[in-house]
Amino acid sequence: MRFAYKCPIAKHFLHPVRSTTLCLSILLLFLFPLAASAQQLTRPEGSNLQDTAAIHRLLKTGRSIKHSFPDSAFYYFNKALIGSYGANYSEGVVLAQYELSRWYYNSNIQLSINSACAALTEFEKEHLTNNTLKCQVYLALAKAYEANAKIDSAAYYYYYLNEEVDKGRIKDPYFEVSLYTTLALFWLNSDNQLDPEFAKPLKNFIDKAQHTLNQLPDNSSTNASFYQLQAIYYLSINRYDSARFYLQKQLALCENTTPMPSSMASVLLNISNAYVMEHKPGEAIPYINRVRSTYKSIPTQDRYYITANLHLADVYFQQKKYGECIRILDSTWHYCKVNFVNKDVADAYKIYGDSYEKLGMKDQALTYKNLYITLYDSLAKRDRLNMSYKMESRYRLAEKDKKLAEQNLTISQAENDARRKNFWVAAISFLAILMILVAILWLRNIRHAQRLQTYQFEKQMEISRLTYTIQGEEKERRRIAAELHDGIVGLLVAAKINLNLVKKEYHFSNESNFTEGLQLIDQAASDLRKTAHNMMPEILMQDGLLKALEQFCNSIAANNTTSIYFEIVGTPVKLKSSLELALYRIVQELVHNIIKHARATEAMIQINFFENELSITVEDNGVGMDVHTTTQGIGIKSIYDRVKAINGNITIESGYSKGTSIYINLDLHKENLETA
């Protein structure tokens, strides 16, 4: 017997002789009222509704009254559909078809499927982009397929929606709770074996729903969902007392908040099922009778009355009241319009057959069990149960037992021979498949190794190209620095000496222009000397990277308004001269960028030595920059190339008026360290 959950379709009515089956069937989160005169909609022609807002008002009105006045709700949904076609409003067509699919669910499952398919076709034909609406249509279609016993089709849409949520494409938390709860119920209904291993994936869906539920505000709706999820989990592990505890709390919440009739019926049927599954049929009867008395006089909701009657028949069977069981089923078929065929109906015929069998009415038992087999095979597409053969062999063919035994012996021997052959065929096939898999994995590993080798070679070539380029630049820097220092600076010094001699000889001491010219020559010589020093600092070659950077920062800070702080963290290690030069150039370029562009009052350069890693942090409190556009500049690109050439990583974090932080990380391999 399936457990009820917000849709009036009961499933798997099983009796005590059969293996215990956890059943949940009327909680698909939507109520679709039954209308006796409902017919499938065709595309309407023309309409006087051209305002999309008016169409949405019609849909909103229909939703608000669909449980209390289902026929009026159908009118509003149909009018909204006609108006959407007339206004060429595709999203309105999809919404109206979706609402009609939900409405038809309780009266005609096939029409519900047709409306949902029409909504999906319109969505795809018009290339709409409202993913939430599409997923709602998918969920309605999945529930309709499940109710129509088309489990494969239902599973396709359910798990598609699960992937959409996992990928973050659905942002509605209420929809997520609804989906995960429905998936938990669908998984629970997909197997009759309820054990801890089977409960693990179901618990996964429940945990996801609970996680999303915790993010929603605490109210009657979220509390009801919480109680429902707990009940589902405890039912999956056969903890019926705990399940009923939460179902009773959900029932009390529904009674206090004046719920929809369908919500109340779902909870009552759930509680009754929990008692039946624990073989306490007497305690289930009051809850079943509450549903029967409430919905017997509501024509549009007679599916609940039918479901409650099928529950009651199962209770009578457990109580061994076989005559009452047959009477309630006869009454249900005679007085109610059962316009749906699902596993509940098929299992009802199984109860019919078992009841007649217990009463010794073998012909009637055989008739109903044959009908059960036909319905069960057509709906579930499972292995045939061959119950007809068993009934005939037990009640009609007893005189042929000896002949059948001989035939069975022959068949058993043939089966043993076939089993041995099948074993060898399976073994050989397994070995062949194993060899093929090993070959595929081997080839895959070879191709992966080749791709990895090609990638590493290309990366090494790029690094080599960058290294040679940077080495060429450094060689040119040294040449220019030498020419500036030994050539131009020397000429300027010589010119200064000659001009000083002229000054003394011709007594130009009081000539201000002459004196200023000497000062300019002296300043030019000093600036050229500094430029030559920056291009190839001698202190870097003599005292190493840290001293050179410290002197460089002090020199820059002394000649600018930006305060630069230099800090060393950890135990320094001696690096190769080529690596020190590369790091010096990187920090030099970053500091120059701060001075020229950042308009910062403070900057910090921090060198961190870890066990196997070197980290350089350069930060300022300047105006910041747009990282995405600035990284395309020549200066930043040069820094990126230098970092890449030494197999390092660089990260830039910045924003307008937020300053800039640059982090450079480098693994300290043996090839980067200076050996003694």
* Helix, strand, coil percentages, rounded to 5, for the chain: 70, 5, 25
The answer to whether 180 and 209 have CB atoms below 8 angstroms apart is yes
Specify the length of the chain in residues.
Answer: 676
- Does residue 358 contact residue 127 with C-beta atoms inside 8 Å? no
* Residue listed under structure tokens 């679709």: 32
pLDDT at 46: 41
Partner residues linked to 27 by β-bridges: 6
Which string of b and e fits 518-540 if b means at least 16 CB within 10 Å?
beeeeeebeebbeebbebbbeeb
| pLDDT band for position 15 (cuts 50, 70, 90) | very low
Residue 82's pLDDT band (cuts 50, 70, 90): very high
Condensed to tens digits (0 to 9), the pLDDT of residues 321-339 reads: 999 998 988 888 776 665 5
Kindly report, residue by residue over 255-281, the tens digit of the pLDDT.
Answer: 776 545 466 788 888 888 889 888 898
More confident site: 30 or 194: 194
Higher-confidence position of 400 and 501: 501
Arithmetic mean of pLDDT, 52-73: 87
- Do the Cβ atoms of 52 and 30 come closer than 8 Å? no
Whole-number pLDDT of residue 391 = 35
Which pLDDT belongs to residue 625?
85
Residue identified by tokens 């009739």 is 261
Is the pLDDT at 629 greater than 80? The verdict is: no
> Is 524 strand, coil or helix?
helix
Given this model, what pLDDT does residue 470 score? 64
Q: Quick check: 64 and 45 in contact, CB under 8 A?
A: no
Whether the CB-CB separation of 535 and 513 falls below 8 Å is answered with no
Give the model confidence (pLDDT) of 210-260 as tens digits.
888 888 887 777 777 788 888 887 887 788 898 889 888 888 887 776 545
User: 591 with 622: CB under 8 angstroms?
Assistant: no
Q: For residue 380, what are the CA distances in angstroms to 11, 150, 185, 190?
A: 12, 8, 17, 11
User: Are 291 and 308 contacting, i.e. CB atoms less than 8 angstroms apart?
Assistant: yes
CATH fold of 538-672: Heat Shock Protein 90 (3.30.565)
| Per-residue pLDDT reduced to its tens digit, 526-541 | 666 666 566 666 777 7
Architecture of the domain delimited by 105-395: Alpha Horseshoe (1.25)
395 or 289: which leads in pLDDT: 289
Residue 384, pLDDT score: 38
Domains 105-395 and 538-672 share a fold: no
Q: Which helix (H) or strand (E) holds 649?
A: strand 649-654
* Antiparallel, parallel or unpaired: β 563-569 and 602-609: parallel
Nearby residues of 587 by Cβ (< 8 Å), 6 or more positions away: 549, 552, 605, 616, 618
Q: What does the pLDDT look like over 391-408, one tens digit per residue?
A: 333 334 344 445 656 777
Alpha-carbon distance of 285 to 309, in angstroms, equals: 11
What value does the mean pLDDT take over residues 501-507? 68
- The 3-state secondary structure of 189-236, one letter per residue: HCCCCCCHHHHHHHHHHHHHHHHHHCCCCCCHHHHHHHHHHHHHHHHH
- Beta-carbon contacts of residue 540 (< 8 Å; ≥ 6 apart): 548, 580, 581, 584
pTM score, whole prediction: 0.46
Whether the Cβ atoms of residue 603 and residue 594 lie closer than 8 Å to each other: yes
User: Do 344 and 25 contact (CB within 8 A), yes or no?
Assistant: yes
CA distance 319 to 313: 10
pLDDT in tens, 292-303: 887 776 655 667
Residue 390 has pLDDT above 60, yes or no: no
Task: Kindly report the average pLDDT of the chain as a whole number.
Answer: 76
Residue 598 has pLDDT above 70, yes or no: yes
Report the pLDDT averaged over residues 625-647.
78
* Interval 410-437 mean pLDDT: 88
647: left (phi over 0), alpha (psi -120 to 50) or beta: left
CB contact at 8 A, 303 and 9: yes
Q: Which long-range contacts (CB under 8 A, 24 or more apart) does 470-479 make?
A: 470/582, 470/585, 470/641, 470/642, 470/645, 474/581, 474/585, 477/535, 477/536, 478/535, 478/536
Detail the DSSP E strand segments found in 224-382.
none
Listed residue (533, 537, 524, 515) closest to 490, CA to CA: 524
**pLDDT exceeds 90 at position 76:** yes
Contact in structure between 607 and 544 (CB atoms under 8 Å): no
Residue 197, pLDDT > 60, answer no
- Check: CB of residue 553 under 8 Å from CB of residue 566: yes
Per-residue confidence (pLDDT) for residue 614, from 0 to 100: 92
Amino acid identity for residue 261 in this structure: P
Domain coordinates of the chain in residue numbers? 105-395, 401-531, 538-672
In the numeric block, the tokens 């494409």 are attached to 169
At 484-497, the pLDDT tens digits run 655 665 667 667 67
* Distance, CA of 192 to chain centre: 28
394 or 639, which is more confident:
639
Phi, psi of 506 (to 5 degrees): -105, 5
**pLDDT band, very low/low/confident/very high, at 60 (cuts 50, 70, 90):** very high
Least Cα distance to 521 among 498, 495, 500 occurs for: 495
Q: What is the DSSP letter of 401?
A: H
